[in-house]
Amino acid sequence: MTYCVAIMIDAGMVFASDSRTNAGVDNVSTFRKMRTFENPGERALMFVNSGNLAVTQATLNQLDQAIRRNVEPNLMSVSSMYDVAELVGEALREVRHRDGPYLQENNVDSGANFIVGGQIFGERQRLFMIYAEGNFIEATPETPYFQIGETKYGKPIIDRVVSGGTCMDDTVKCMLVSFDSTMRSNLSVGFPIDLACYDREALRIGRTHRFDDQDPYMLRLSQSWGEGVKRAFGQLPNVEWH
Amino acid sequence: MTYCVAIMIDAGMVFASDSRTNAGVDNVSTFRKMRTFENPGERALMFVNSGNLAVTQATLNQLDQAIRRNVEPNLMSVSSMYDVAELVGEALREVRHRDGPYLQENNVDSGANFIVGGQIFGERQRLFMIYAEGNFIEATPETPYFQIGETKYGKPIIDRVVSGGTCMDDTVKCMLVSFDSTMRSNLSVGFPIDLACYDREALRIGRTHRFDDQDPYMLRLSQSWGEGVKRAFGQLPNVEWH
């Protein structure tokens, strides 16, 4: 499995993805699930993905090739994030149409999901979730985040903490806590964690970082969170049976 | 869906179950998913279940009838918790064997799970998880709890807080927090929450309680936990990018 989150706040966006890929428990490896594209001052795009790795890689390759060969429309030429989402959905459909039947012969799932966000000059920042079928939905202020993969363990903390007005720093912290909870309860999600920030209206990728399992901040965060949760637990009122 | 948990600690056991049953979003109702059987001083059994409601009810009915008609072996006559788990598994197999093919005709899942625990005179307290196929596993000190249904949202807090040495009161609190997190993130799990405690060697069911959505303790717990989590979050170290 995989765990990826993207959150859109008033101040911008944060994307994060884990790096564990497994085909059975004896075939575990590390693959980056995050891609960024930018033309500084004009557009900044961030992608994370989950699902069949061959399918997501083939989809990204197809999108890359269109850019390199100047095939129109492509990710660097379209004028709206909506078109970006459409291009990703179409590429995903093509790959699954081509490879899906062969995978099905061996009962291999060709499903894959993308979260795509960013901003193109002349338009507001936008965030989309692209389903395995190639259709997609856009985030709104009421639901400012998308998750893919092993989403449940890390959802409660996001639901409790993040809203549109949350600052970038707190959003990053919340995402890392969400990963910490997920990795503690589920072996199929693992370090390193890739993180990318986008400051609204910047039109360039902001800070990016790869947190590995020895990252000193990640270790301190994990310890501080564990202690804080235990403290919160210790302060709960005694059970009363009415 | 459903959410049920049973935790075995040195001091005894705690069982908890939600009460929401749904067949589609327009057919939502309340059903108790917990059953207890006891012969005070001789045996105390606690059951929670998830899955197809007709299947779990039929399984429990079959077990009830065997007791009422004095069919041997039955839940009140067997001398080991292992035999209890076997009886439940067998009854579940019979019901699914009988009803399963009709359900399959309409693509209805006949899957169901039970968690069964308690103690019978002459034996230690024991806890079992019975799979939809009727086979089962027993909890050990390394894995002292079982969950069924919507298990993921509420797992991190149990993993963080509970171990064999946790006291009964803290175990109850932890389970209620686990339900609070689950209900906040998933609509298919809902009040009331049934809770039953068993004190090791008591050989009778301990305290039982039904927490509804207006239960004053549950409201205070939920508020206190929400504030505590936010406080813990506020005390996290600032993000550092090494």
Summarised one tens digit per residue, pLDDT across range B105-146 is 999 999 999 999 999 999 999 999 999 999 999 999 888 999
Q: Which residues of B touch A1 (CB under 8 A)?
A: none
Cβ contacts of B24 within 8 Å, gap of 6 or more: none
Split at pLDDT 50, 70, 90, the class of B22 is confident
One digit per residue, the tens of pLDDT, for chain A of length 242 reads 899 999 999 999 999 999 998 877 788 899 999 999 999 999 999 999 999 999 999 999 999 999 999 999 999 999 999 999 999 999 999 999 999 999 999 999 999 999 999 999 999 999 999 999 999 999 998 889 999 999 999 999 999 999 999 999 999 999 999 999 999 888 889 999 999 999 999 999 999 999 999 999 999 999 999 999 999 999 999 998 87
Of the partner residues A156, A207, A236, the one whose CB lies closest to the CB of residue B221: A236
**pLDDT at site B183:** 93
| Cis preceding linkage at A216, omega within 30 | no
Mutation target vs A (from B150, B151, B160; most A CBs, 10 A cutoff): B160
Which segments of A27-109 are extended strands (E)? 28-30, 34-39, 43-51
Q: What is the pLDDT of residues B35-53, one digit of tens each?
A: 999 999 999 999 999 999 9
Give dist(CA B63, CA B116) in Å, integer. Answer: 13
* Interface residues of chain A, partner chain B, Cβ below 8 Å: 150, 152-153, 155-157, 159-161, 169-170, 172-174, 176-177, 181, 184-186, 207, 209, 215-217, 220-221, 224-233, 235-242
**pLDDT higher at A138 or B28:** A138
**Cα(B147)–Cα(B154) distance, integer angstroms:** 9
Nearest CA in chain B to A150: B152
B101 Cα to chain A: minimum distance (Å): 24
- Check B185 against A241: CB less than 8 A apart: no
Nearest residue on chain B to A154, alpha-carbon basis: B153
Least Cα distance to A3 among A36, A35, A48 occurs for A48
Tell me if A224 and B237 make a contact (CB, 8 A cut-off).
yes
Distant-in-sequence, close-in-space partners of A31: CB < 8 Å, separation ≥ 6: A19, A21, A53
Do the Cβ atoms of B237 and A231 come within 8 Å?
no
Q: Which residue(s) pair with B113 in the sheet?
A: B50
Residue B23 has pLDDT above 80, yes or no: no
Checking if the pLDDT of B205 tops 80, the result is: yes
Q: Are B214 and A225 in contact (CB under 8 A)?
A: no
The pLDDT value recorded for residue A136 is 97
Ordered by where they begin, the domains of chain A are 3-234 (3.60.20.10)
| pLDDT value of residue A216 | 95
Task: Give A104→chain B minimum CA distance, Å.
Answer: 21
pLDDT given for residue B39 in this prediction = 98
B24 pLDDT higher than 80: no
Model pLDDT, residue B237: 96
Torsion of CA A231, A233, A237, A240, to 10 degrees: -160
How many helices (H) and strands (E) are present in chain A, helices listed first? 5, 12
